């Protein structure tokens, strides 16, 4: 029996994590749950799974609901002695502090929040290695890479090929993108996700952030992390070895499979998910990315190459710009211009946790200032 804490239990990944627990009651036990501000749903989940340790990130909501609240409460939950594994499925850089605390408390990590490694891979990965912690990725792309590398040493790996659906604007020109509406950007052809990740998929910034995450997770320079468009979303990513061989992991576009693998690794357990049948998808295609249209990939490479605080600034500026777009401010076509303008400003050099959080706050304020003009 593996005892797990789920941070972000009321979000899409959190709910699907609990679906897996329901299917594997003899393997997994929930011992802690945390959410942002969905107090009622959190309490319903706690009753269902018999959980007494819960927390809300939003302090006002927590106080009104009589639940422990704030960052300290979430960090405390992530480090409780009874937990074996912490699922980090919170949106944004707020997952960084509880992740670092959980690693220092010798908890295994199942990571869905790509921002943790984008903003602080230089802090997280050395600590993972120092403490001998297993960190299993939940993102379908990184799960695919992780699975393909089982049984191989790092020295065998030549490069990583991340697959992207292409989003709703695959094949569009830069001129067509100028007139995109928010409704169009939220209409993803394959996946059903939250607003922020759906916009990131449409701009392909999600793939840019995944490039940086893969760079840290698998120890490759960003120049050896490639992206290819695969509209069918069946091949979740691939690895290329030095001998030229390429391995990929395939399956239906369903997050429950990578979630289950992350939770029960290194086991592979039967489940109720529909297995992929190659005869049902005979036409699998791959296309290059038009980076003159999807500039987010070049910005991600720049951030990784510059290092320091730049990945944090990229992530924070994009997150703030997307949140503003979802609230009705700004335009989809202007997202990357806005992010790049913040990246072009002089920033600090303190890459400690405090420096990262300060850079994150600074980048967000820069975006807000530009949108107020």
Question: Per-domain residue ranges for the chain?
Answer: 2-133, 308-373
The residues that bridge with 157 in the sheet, in sequence order, are 241
- Contact between 358 and 350 under an 8 Å Cβ cutoff? The reply is yes
Distance separating alpha carbons of residues 270 and 189, to the nearest angstrom: 29
Q: Specify whether the backbone of 244 is left (phi greater than 0), alpha (psi in -120 to 50) or beta.
A: left
Buried/exposed code over 282-298 (b: 16+ C-beta within 10 A; e: otherwise): eeeeeeebbeebbbbbe
Distance separating alpha carbons of residues 118 and 330, to the nearest angstrom: 24
Alpha helices in the chain (DSSP H): 12-23, 39-49, 59-65, 71-78, 96-104, 115-131, 140-148, 174-177, 182-185, 195-203, 205-218, 256-264, 296-306, 310-326, 335-343, 353-372
pLDDT of residue 206: 93
Distance separating alpha carbons of residues 364 and 326, to the nearest angstrom: 15
Q: For domain 308-373, is the CATH number 1.10.3720.10?
A: no
pLDDT of residue 192: 67
pLDDT of residue 373: 63
- Contact between 259 and 273 under an 8 Å Cβ cutoff? The reply is no
Q: Report mean pLDDT in 10-residue bins for the chain, 373 residues.
A: 97 96 96 97 98 97 97 96 95 92 98 95 97 96 98 95 93 92 86 80 95 97 98 97 98 96 96 94 96 95 97 96 93 95 93 95 96 81
pLDDT of residue 26: 95
The architecture of the domain spanning 2-133 is 3-Layer(aba) Sandwich (3.40)
At 191, give phi and psi (nearest 5°): -100, 150
Structure tokens at 318: 């994009």
């Amino acid at each position: 029996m593996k005892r797990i804490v789920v941070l972000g239990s009321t979000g899409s990944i959190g709910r699907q994590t609990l679906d897996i627990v329901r299917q594997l009651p003899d393997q997994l036990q929930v011992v802690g749950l945390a959410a942002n501000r969905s107090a009622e749903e959190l309490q319903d989940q706690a009753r269902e799974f018999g959980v007494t340790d819960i927390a809300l990130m939003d302090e006002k909501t927590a106080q009104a609901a009589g639940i422990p609240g704030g960052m300290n409460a979430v960090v405390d939950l992530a480090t409780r002695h009874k937990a074996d594994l912490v699922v980090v499925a919170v949106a944004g850089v707020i997952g960084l502090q509880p992740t670092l605390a959980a690693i220092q408390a010798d908890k295994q990590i199942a990571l869905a929040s790509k921002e943790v490694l984008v903003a602080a891979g230089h802090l997280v990965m050395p600590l993972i290695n120092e403490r001998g912690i297993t960190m299993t990725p939940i993102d379908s792309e990184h799960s695919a890479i992780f699975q393909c590398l089982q049984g191989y040493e790092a020295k065998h790996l030549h490069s990583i090929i991340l697959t992207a659906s292409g989003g709703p604007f695959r094949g569009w020109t830069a001129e067509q993108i100028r007139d995109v509406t928010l409704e169009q950007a939220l209409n993803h052809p394959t996946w059903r996700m939250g607003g922020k990740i759906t916009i990131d998929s449409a701009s392909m910034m999600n793939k840019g952030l995944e490039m940086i995450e893969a760079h840290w997770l698998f120890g490759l320079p960003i120049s050896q992390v490639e992206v290819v468009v695969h509209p069918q979303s069946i091949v979740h990513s691939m690895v290329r070895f030095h001998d030229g061989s390429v391995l990929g992991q395939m399956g239906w576009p369903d997050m429950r499979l990578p979630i289950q693998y992350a939770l029960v690794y290194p086991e592979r357990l039967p489940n109720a998910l529909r297995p992929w049948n190659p005869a049902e998808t005979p036409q699998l295609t791959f296309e290059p990315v038009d980076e003159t249209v999807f500039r987010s990939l070049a910005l991600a490479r720049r951030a990784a190459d510059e290092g320091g605080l730049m990945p944090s600034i990229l992530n924070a500026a994009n997150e703030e710009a997307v949140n503003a777009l979802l609230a009705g401010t700004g335009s989809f076509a202007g997202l990357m211009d806005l992010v790049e303008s913040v990246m072009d400003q002089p920033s600090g050099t303190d890459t400690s946790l405090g420096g990262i959080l300060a850079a994150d706050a600074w980048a967000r304020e820069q975006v807000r200032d530009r949108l107020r003009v």
